[in-house]
Amino acid sequence: MKLFFKSLAALLFAISSFIAHAEGGNALQKVKLTTSHGDIVIELNADKAPNTVANFISYVDSGFYTDTIFHRVIKDFMIQGGGFDKEFTQKKVNEPIQNEANNGLTNVKGSIAMARTGDPHSATAQFFINTVDNDFLNFRGENDAAWGYAVFGRVIEGSDVVEVIRALSTSNRGHHQNVPANNVVILSASILK
């Protein structure tokens, strides 16, 4: 049943994107992450990563990201969030999605991509923002080691906020490394009209 609703959401999103194109509008949706350190606005690329964008939008629409944290910060790599609440409890997620890393978008500084495990098709809710160009994360082939990480948008406002977050001091928390010493909270995530 979850798969049906996720597929329906992706179809409706694709239809709305098509209508926006037909009317000459901008089909690139924007999401604002209001964080404890300032706002970050992300432009989503549904043309290149339709299922990934639909998945991300479904989490935004459900309020999933409210009061989650950026739980992994590596200054010259990326900032990762969307999976843990302020008490560092992992949130329950929907089914994983297919990896769309072969879409031509690359892990350049300021791009947003899906986080995942070693399984290329294991991404759910967690995402990361690249703080430098990370070419080694790009798609190189359809096998486990080469699939890469699916980019689905880019930061268009709030790069200064990303810079502040990436420079925070970090430590270990349990078996998690590179955790900000003080929580960086996503207070809300909302679609900009």
**pLDDT at residue 182 tops 60:** yes
Taking the CA of residue 122 as centre, how many other CA atoms within 13 Å lie in the half-sphere pointing to its CB? 9
Q: How many angstroms separate the Cα of 25 from the Cα of each of 22, 29, 61, 74, 82?
A: 7, 11, 22, 37, 29
* pLDDT, position 27: 60
For the stretch 58-95, pLDDT in tens is 999 999 999 999 999 999 999 999 999 999 999 999 99
Q: Note the pTM of the prediction, 2 decimals.
A: 0.87
Distance of CA 130 to the CA centre of its chain: 10
**pLDDT at residue 21 tops 80:** no
CA distance 116 to 125: 9
For the stretch 95-138, pLDDT in tens is 999 999 999 999 999 999 999 999 999 999 999 999 999 999 99
Q: Which two tokens stand for residue 5?
A: 């609703």
In order of their start, the domains of the chain are 2-192 (2.40.100.10)
- Among residues of the chain, what percentage have pLDDT more than 70? 86
Q: Please count the other Cβ atoms lying within 10 Å of the Cβ belonging to residue 23.
A: 8
CA distance 32 to 38: 10
**Res. 144 pLDDT band, cuts 50 70 90:** confident
Adjacent-strand bridge partners of 40:
33
Closest CA to 163 of 138, 135, 129: 129
Supply the angle between the helices 2-22 and 50-62 in degrees, to the nearest 10. 110
In degrees and rounded to multiples of 5, residue 60 shows phi and psi of -60, -50
